[in-house]
Amino acid sequence: MFLGASSFIPMKKEPRKEPTKRTDTAPHLMLLDSSITNPSVEVVRLPNPSKLLDAGLYVICENNIFWLRGIQPNIKPVSLFLNNRILNEDCFWATFRFDAICIFTSLLFLNPDKFMSVPQRIYDLYRSGRDDSQEYAALEAGTFALWNHNIDKVQNRLEYLCETIKSDGSKELLFKPNIEKFRAMLEYKVQLVEEKLQKENVMMGAYCETTETSSSNHVRKHHVTFKSGKLRMFAWSIISTMLNDEARRALLPTNCTNTKSSGHIQSNVSSGPMITSKNKLQKKRKMAPVTGTRSITSFFKPS
């Protein structure tokens, strides 16, 4: 991972001033995935996979999607080390590689018992019985852009994951999710998370057990082991944050259905994260909502 610059996400609330030309050297902190090599990145709004009517913030880079997640060290303690130095920030953002199939999994399981085309499902979600709003229109356009441009090969993958039939008088396929195939996909994602945590020696009390092997007054040695059952539950809890309630109820194992995604801090466009301090006398400061972010559809317009 490396530190990059972003002129889209201010870390602290500042007084209003005349807009200035954005530069790539703006002094704001963003933690970027190491696979992003472009010095200038763009932030877009797309549906939050766990709540499709809410917007999330994403980075688009070379047709790959990275999910922006808020990290607040004074609420959920995080130690960030860079070149043997610890960084102390009120709030920073981190990017995580995101699979667009999660958005469409949540979309399909809103109505999993009918054969429907994906465009019709998108229309029903953002237009049927809802007041017209720019926010819903932007989310609808973003979802269509993901689908029409086959980002992360969602069209090909859904043809495999779903039962399909041809619509009379239309070229569009009608999809009905195959629960067993979707479960197999999630099992594979869980397995990847488990392998990654063990390979990188990411040790947390939620799934690790420590035993003392030496009780010398001068040297204490501990042996840390991964508990496979707890590790799998932890991996499922991560995957569950990328699904809505309907998909979780249908796809998660019985012992994981009570896993709540609210324990993970999420970036939210409608209301910025609240920065708090242990000092009770200090008032809470609300971060200004992110403005000026691009629409995903702008990335696919011909130049």
* Residue 256 within any structural domain of the chain: no
Residues 67 and 117 in one domain: no
Cα-based distances in Å from 240 to 62, 99, 126, 213: 27, 13, 23, 36
Q: Average pLDDT, stretch 124-138?
A: 83
Q: How far apart are CA 148 and CA 259, in angstroms?
A: 33
Tokens 């972010």 identify what position? 293
Residue among 295, 271, 280, 285 nearest 11 (CA): 285
Q: What is the pTM of this model?
A: 0.67
* Residue 158 within any structural domain of the chain: yes
Residues 89 and 170 in one domain: no
Alpha carbon 16 to its chain's center: 30
* Residue 183 within any structural domain of the chain: no
pLDDT tens-digit map of 212-227? 666 666 655 656 676 6
Pairing of strands 81-82, 85-86: antiparallel
Pairing of strands 64-71, 51-61: antiparallel
* Residue 26 within any structural domain of the chain: yes
pLDDT value of residue 96:
76
* Residue 240 within any structural domain of the chain: no
Residues 11 and 27 in one domain: yes
Q: How far apart are CA 268 and CA 30, in angstroms?
A: 16
Q: Worst-scoring range by mean pLDDT, 10-19, 67-76, 114-123, 258-267?
A: 258-267
Q: Domain tally for the chain?
A: 2
Over the Cα atoms of the chain, what is R_g? Answer: 22
Within 13 Å and on the Cβ side, how many CA atoms surround 10?
13
Q: Which domain holds residue 278?
A: 1-98+271-303
Position with higher pLDDT, 27 vs 196? 196
